[in-house]
Structure 1
Amino acid sequence: MPRDAEDRRLEPFEWNSEESVRYEVAIEVIGEGVAHYSALLNAAEAAGDEPEAARLRAEIGACVEERYRLRATDHEGVTQVLHKYRALLRAPGDHDA
């Protein structure tokens, strides 16, 4: 049976429950970042603000790319994602991710 792209990206390694949960939370918080930017994008498009809409599309693309690059074995990267996106989601208004 062919393996999907996600399976091919996973390398075998040892990790504990805490690392597993932190990685899954990091993936989830990136998804929340996408949702945040998507809501702002909808508002920008409704207002006809194409420059802002283009910027927000780029932010969404950056989130997706970051999600794709993040590895469970990259503990520092996971920590950075958690801090970065939690700050984005806590702050009032729009901030760059």
Structure 2
Amino acid sequence: MPNSGVSITDQLDPYEWSNEETAAYEAAIEAVNGAVGAYSALIASEEAKPEPDQAVIAEARTAQARLAHEREGLRSTNREQIAEARAGYAQLAREVLGRIA
């Protein structure tokens, strides 16, 4: 497809975000990032062991990739999705951090 010189973002309809939507969306993104970070901590903890469990490390890296994909799917206009993301990913981060011994 030839480049028409027009940015795809120039073709999008305008959307006004409320302050509430903006804050909720940013909090959801931070919750996902917190879960990704928790998996990073799990990986680091496992790698520091004398005999790291490679399955734990592989599982954590797979989860990080899945979370990155899910983060891209968040839509600020979907209030239910954002609310679920904020709660669910924060809980996931706590669970993953609880696995670190």
TM-score tier after normalising by the smaller chain length: 0.7 to 0.9
Question: TM (normalized to structure 2)?
Answer: 0.74
- Kept after mapping to 1: 8 A contact 2:34/2:90: no
Structure 1: distance between partners of 2:29 and 2:67 = 10
Q: 1:15 aligns with which of 4, 17, 20?
A: 17
Structure 1: distance between partners of 2:48 and 2:93 = 22
Structure 1: distance between partners of 2:43 and 2:77 = 32
Q: Which consecutive segments of 4 or more residues in structure 1 shift more than 6 A?
A: none
Number of residue pairs matched?
91
2:83 corresponds in structure 1 to 79
Q: Which moved more, 1:60-69 or 1:11-20?
A: 11-20
Structure 1: distance between partners of 2:43 and 2:6 = 37
1:35 CA drift (Å): 0.7
1:28 corresponds in structure 2 to 30
1:55 CA drift (Å): 0.4
2:71 corresponds in structure 1 to 67
RMSD, aligned CA: 2.5
Structure 1: distance between partners of 2:61 and 2:89 = 17
- Kept after mapping to 1: 8 A contact 2:31/2:89: yes
Structure 2: distance between partners of 1:35 and 1:90 = 11
Shift in CA distance, 74/11, structure 1 to aligned 2, threshold 3 Å:
farther
Match of 2:98, as an amino acid?
Answer: G
Shift in CA distance, 64/41, structure 1 to aligned 2, threshold 3 Å:
same
1:41 CA drift (Å): 0.9
Shift in CA distance, 90/42, structure 1 to aligned 2, threshold 3 Å:
closer
In structure 2, the gaps of 5 or more residues are none
